Structure 1
């Protein structure tokens, strides 16, 4: 018997059929084994991840650059702190792309005030579509705990690559764990049919690091894994029972978190 399997399945069924995204956004922090998005109250750790990634990725600086964050959540809090810490230089802009989460205007106003930069109201802009972003206009694309939820990876990456300037960069922090974090790998035990029919909340396609590296390559992006983590003790509990889709012989299957930087291949024509 796989440790914790019954508890895991029960939690997943409850998550799928009883809890909406709005409910989890408000009350997820109180649910056992579930980690809610804390970026809205404290964007510091996310900005720290971005800063670390850029330091690892090497020279890339544009004095006054346009930054696009993908999947910003209910507020623009990360954008305000990016601006405060000088990521966009003196005159650059930060675009906060959020096509799904409902904007919390009251909380956003508090976060803007806390950041203390009077230019934020103009230089940090919230968008719900990429259609209005000019091609070849973005210097830096960022995302945190977003790519693991994207169903159409090729579609998103193609759009993002079109928006990047020549020499631009993407930095993606990806969380490959099941988001009931007590069981980081249990969702790999199920075939696609049973996962999607009964347990998938709708936004967990269960990509692994190898999948994302393949998507990057197919979209003309050269990717570099800046750092990655695994949880050997937890992986050992499930490794022998993984669904056929997941390659237990590939170390990348066990990756729980990864920091990935990528640039467009200079020899690859724009899509």
Structure 2
């Protein structure tokens, strides 16, 4: 609350001469009730907002410092964060020129000048990392029937896709420019036939012990396996669709565990 007051009431009275009488009165009123309790401050501020904008805030607490993050969607509360402090969501609160602002955490693969940069993980702890990803290839009735009967001209679609997914995971750093070259402990790719949707469901699990995660390896495994299914079946149908390639879970590392709900 002190930061907000300092931002609003730091201008000397002598500088208010050029303002309209209404704006001057608003600022002077703000200064007067800034010395009151928080509840009184919020009540008077709400009344002033109603005078200026013709209506009060949408909720009684909209301008209260203790719930500002909820109603203003600023991602911070002046009662809980000090300048230059980061919250658990990576939002940084900074103070400057009488204004309190919130900055999103920088993208990890972009340096201070906005250029692409590989993250240095030398100081990060080595922990066990596991990531699971999934995807789905919609084949259509005709191609699905041939895959299920193992009658595709190029061979055993599901087995070849599984091997391709494992190979793809091991090549991730060669395919994705800023990925680290990870020593994988294991990659497991499984495929299953979804008769109801005439699709192949693909799941990949990547495991490693190191300073960085294996989400990209799991996602690459699913993607390459899906593309392999497409390649082996494209002669039968051009209407095949690769869909729902997504991370399902990841464990280990500084950011903790995450599971798709």
TM-score (norm 2): 0.26
Which one has a larger percent strand, Structure 1 or Structure 2?
2
| Larger Rg belongs to | 2
Q: Which structure dedicates a bigger proportion of its chain to helix?
A: 1
TM-score, normalised on structure 1?
0.25
